[in-house]
A and B are shown apart, each in its own frame.
Chain A
Amino acid sequence: DTEVTQTPKHLVMGMTNKKSLKCEQHMGHRAMYWYKQKAKKPPELMFVYSYEKLSINESVPSRFSPECPNSSLLNLHLHALQPEDSALYLCASSQDLPTGNDEQYFGPGTRLTVT
């Protein structure tokens, strides 16, 4: 199984809502990532988890809260988002420690619209 799954595929939320994005992989990968991608732009790294511990936070606003309940799951909790947070949120995983030397497997993404 070389698949990263993400739910939901689409999400529309108001600025006062709380929602969560979910990501799952069963490849035994020990590094997992959240990226944000705006239209016609490259993915921008938000968070990196290594062996279930947060190793990189790219100065992401606290209205985004990541969680790694176990080695296969990664969540992104959303609260009080702004319309400019509307984007495609991509989850990715790679085999070992996040050194930048491993290929990353991306999920299909969650397309988020904040109204």
Chain B
Amino acid sequence: GQQVMQIPQYQHVQEGEDFTTYCNSSTTLSNIQWYKQRPGGHPVFLIQLVKSGEVKKQKRLTFQFGEAKKNSSLHITATQTTDVGTYFCAAPRSSASKIIFGSGTRLSIRP
């Protein structure tokens, strides 16, 4: 079945370093969403990308959707302790009205 692979599983960075997480699909996606879940919290929607090659920025966060619409990335510049959490990509499943979550990347930060 359709899967969305997300790497890396964990990333531990020094505060101020950059961070990137990647999502890859074997099939073309109509869109991709990104969510953030803080420790002990619930997923919170960050952004949705729809167009091929789309790039969107939210302050220090940059989201990209690949030209073939099969991969996406989230890049955080100069991480801060508030960035700690698990970042999930999510994409619609082609045969049903729902989204599938990637496995998530857990970001931890050394102050």
- A interface residues with partner B (beta carbon < 8 Å): 33, 40-43, 45, 48, 50, 55-56, 90, 92, 97-101, 103-109
Selecting from B58-66, B70-78, B97-105, the interface stretch reads: B97-105
B51 interface contact, C-beta 8 A: no
- Is A48 within 8 A of B98, CB to CB? yes
**Which chain B residue shows the least CB distance to A107?**
B42
- B interface residues with partner A (beta carbon < 8 Å): 30-31, 33, 41-45, 48, 88, 91-93, 96-99, 101-104, 106
How far, in whole Å, are A79 and B103 apart by their CA atoms in the complex? 29
Residues of B within 8 A of A108 (CB): 41-42
**Which chain A residue shows the least CB distance to B96?**
A56
Residues of B within 8 A of A41 (CB): 103-104
How far, in whole Å, are A103 and B45 apart by their CA atoms in the complex? 6
Cβ-neighbour of B97 out of A56, A103, A109 (below 8 A): A56
- With contacts A42-B103, A106-B44, A108-B41 known, is A101 near B98, CB below 8 A? no
- Is A97 within 8 A of B42, CB to CB? no
- Is A43 within 8 A of B92, CB to CB? no
Residues of A within 8 A of B42 (CB): 90, 106-109
- Is B31 within 8 A of A56, CB to CB? no
Cβ-neighbour of A45 out of B33, B44, B88, B98 (below 8 A): B98
